[in-house]
Structure 1
Amino acid sequence: MQYEEDSYSNHISHQFNEELEKIRTQMLTMGGIVERQVFDAIEALLTNDEEMAEQARLIDRQTNEMELAIDEQCTRTIALRQPTASDLRLILSISRSVADLERIGDEATRIAQQAIEMAESNSSTQHGFQEVRHIGEVVRTMVRDMLTAFARNDLELAYRVAKQDRKVDQEYRTAMRTLVTFMMEDVRSISSIMNVIWVLRSLERIGDHARNLAEHLIFQVSGTDVRHQSLKSIKQTVREETGGKGAGNDSEEE
């Protein structure tokens, strides 16, 4: 009798672990799609490729559906399995992460829409394109690194992503000042430069959501909610969780 009970318990536990791994895999798959969408939207803008922009824009529906499906699975698992401790944190982290991934997809869709509008209007402006390319590469790398961090439960990598958001914010502000100067010098450029400004704004927001992903993973692994905390506090949490080996040797005070 005891053997049968243990066997049943092990079966249920194995089944539950499979459910968690399936949800986690689906989240990472969604992340890969979103990362590609971001790349295609930026590339479409920089190369004036209206067809690529339209393809990137249409991906939004797929990511919306994936978010709803994954979130529903998370809700069902909590209701049926009543997970605790690390299992509950994993589910909550995934649920929060797919929401941020969907919002990254929304921003990529906005970039694609701007690319389409600029292609249709035959805009010839190159103002801000260098900044778009650079910041775009940074935020795309942030998203990619976060997917790697989730796959490996790598808190140090998550911290580095969170740290990169500060760099994105700084470069965004610098780009804004430069573009405003261009518009003041040539009012005929205002319309086309405004398209680029909206793109840069979307890229800055993608950086924000990538930082959110980092915070979700840190919560999942450590049990500490680091949302709205400074980089210094996040670094301390990572160091405590990794035995003092994580988060590098820098000294942020934000």
Structure 2
Amino acid sequence: MNHIDAELSGLKVKLMEMWDLVEYQLQSGRDAMVNADQELARKVVKLGKKVNNFDVKIDRMCENLLALYTPVAVDLRLVLATLKINANLERIGDTAEGISMYVQNRKEPYNPEMLEVTNAIPMFDEALAMFRDCRVAYKSNNTDQARAMLKRDKMLNKIYRKSDKIIADYLRNNPDSIEEGLAILAIIKKLERVGDQITNIAEEIIFYQDAKVVKHKSKKKNKDNGDKE
């Protein structure tokens, strides 16, 4: 293995370590929300510093690779894709922290009825499944699996688009639950952003492997179709 291959291998290992940590944050954020686990929520928030350290480390590794080895072709695409994947992982970690902040001071779980009518739990579970499957796609260089993320994100968008009306209707009949309803609405909005960030990562996997930019094409297609579901 030559020097650049060794450096690229180390970069992938470091990115996987960050990916595992962010997945733990996201899964723990879900568990904390369902169980009103304040201690777990605080742990998720505290892990944000560790995620940020990974973010800085991976950025520096990419910069060093570009400066010292001037990679080309697939190696260059890997470094460029890693920079963007790293940024999106950091943002997903921030989102998991944000969700946990809505939990760390709660003394009881969120109302199961409200969680059910808003589909907040299925939305969270699908976001987690997409995150894990996207990691598999990266490790196995599977662009078909990466492309599937672009379609699966539509489920999260559909739940998000309906959430305002559902929660507004619920609160009209349950005015004492306004604070709780607004918190769940904020969590749903954050999960929609997680879906967008996973889609961004999937697009970078496709770019790295196939040398194809699908970002603007997929957005244009959704616009042309009126994003109908």
TM-score greater than 0.5 by the shorter chain? yes
User: Is residue 180 from structure 1 mapped to residue 153 from structure 2 by the alignment?
Assistant: no
User: Is residue 48 from structure 1 mapped to residue 36 from structure 2 by the alignment?
Assistant: yes
Partner of 1:73: 61
Task: Provide the C-alpha distance between the structure 2 equivalents of 1:55 and 1:34, rounded to a whole number of angstroms.
Answer: 12
CA-CA distance at 1:186 after TM superposition: 2.7
Max Rg structure: 1
Task: Provide the C-alpha distance between the structure 2 equivalents of 1:28 and 1:231, rounded to a whole number of angstroms.
Answer: 28
- Secondary structure, in 3 states, of the residue corresponding to 1:117? coil
- Secondary structure, in 3 states, of the residue corresponding to 1:144? helix
Total equivalences in the alignment: 223
Q: Aligned AA for 2:215?
A: R
Task: Provide the C-alpha distance between the structure 2 equivalents of 1:64 and 1:220, rounded to a whole number of angstroms.
Answer: 24
CA shift in 2, pair 1:170/1:124, >3 Å: closer
TM-score (norm 1): 0.82
- Secondary structure, in 3 states, of the residue corresponding to 1:225? coil
CA-CA distance at 1:86 after TM superposition: 0.6
Does the aligned pair in 2 maintain the 1:118–1:195 contact within 8 Å?
A: no
Deviations 1:47-67 (A, max 9, x none): 111111111111111111101
Select the residue among 114, 120, 127 that pairs with 1:128. Answer: 114
Structure 1 residue runs without a partner (length 5+): 1-12, 235-251
TM-score (norm 2): 0.91
Select the residue among 63, 66, 71 that pairs with 2:51. Answer: 63
Deviations 1:42-88 (A, max 9, x none): 11011111111111111111111101100111011101111111100
Task: Provide the C-alpha distance between the structure 1 equivalents of 2:6 and 2:114, rounded to a whole number of angstroms.
Answer: 47
> Structure 1 stretch 196-205 or stretch 225-234: which is displaced more?
225-234
- Secondary structure, in 3 states, of the residue corresponding to 1:118? coil
Select the residue among 104, 108, 118 that pairs with 1:116. Answer: 104
Does the aligned pair in 1 maintain the 2:36–2:109 contact within 8 Å?
A: no
Q: Aligned AA for 1:128?
A: M
Does the aligned pair in 2 maintain the 1:159–1:214 contact within 8 Å?
A: yes
Task: Provide the C-alpha distance between the structure 2 equivalents of 1:224 and 1:233, rounded to a whole number of angstroms.
Answer: 16
Task: Provide the C-alpha distance between the structure 1 equivalents of 2:49 and 2:131, rounded to a whole number of angstroms.
Answer: 20
Structure 2 residue runs without a partner (length 5+): none
- Secondary structure, in 3 states, of the residue corresponding to 2:103? helix
- Secondary structure, in 3 states, of the residue corresponding to 1:230? helix
Does the aligned pair in 2 maintain the 1:183–1:193 contact within 8 Å?
A: yes
Does the aligned pair in 2 maintain the 1:67–1:102 contact within 8 Å?
A: yes
Does the aligned pair in 1 maintain the 2:22–2:89 contact within 8 Å?
A: yes
Does the aligned pair in 1 maintain the 2:34–2:110 contact within 8 Å?
A: no
Partner of 1:192: 180
Partner of 2:76: 88
Tell me how large the CA RMSD over aligned residues is. Answer: 2.0
Partner of 1:156: 144
CA-CA distance at 1:161 after TM superposition: 1.3
